Amino acid sequence: MRIPIITLTVILASVLIAVALPKLLGQLEMRNRMARIGVSAGLTRTIGILEIAGIAGLLLGLLWWPVGVAAAVGLTLLLIGAAVYHIRAKDPVPMAVVPVAFAVAAAAIAVLHVLAN
């Protein structure tokens, strides 16, 4: 059960770091993309911080599974929120499906941790 947990954690952390850093650093392109779906610059930075915290929690969860479960649940909720924003902005379906797919991966990490312990 450890291999799927490690694999999903590394994949999800890798993807999320790529979207979290531009939000956290306030890169212009990311600010513009987020503003288009109705997210302020301050909230964008907060989301970046939450994503970084979630990534750290996922990785720490490889050492202590309750932290991994908490981080995975938090990221699942955050990613569902992202999908809602994309839907409200009337983005094309694939734009809303991507965060849902990652939310499913985060939820799977939580379930796998619980089943393994």
Per-residue pLDDT of 28-87, as tens digits, reads 999 999 999 989 999 999 999 999 999 999 999 999 999 999 999 999 999 999 999 999
Q: Are residues 86 and 35 in contact, defined by beta-carbon separation less than 8 angstroms?
A: no
Q: How many residues does the chain have?
A: 117
Q: Rounded to an integer, what distance in angstroms lies between the CA atom of residue 62 and that of residue 68? A: 7
Q: 68 lies in which domain range? A: 2-116
Domain count, the chain: 1
The torsion region of residue 91 among left (phi > 0), alpha (psi -120 to 50) and beta comes to beta
Q: Does residue 6 have a pLDDT over 80?
A: yes
Find the angle CA(25)-CA(26)-CA(29) to the nearest 5 degrees.
Answer: 120
User: Alpha-carbon torsion 27, 84, 102, 106, what sign?
Assistant: positive
- Confidence band, pLDDT 50/70/90 cuts, at residue 89: very high
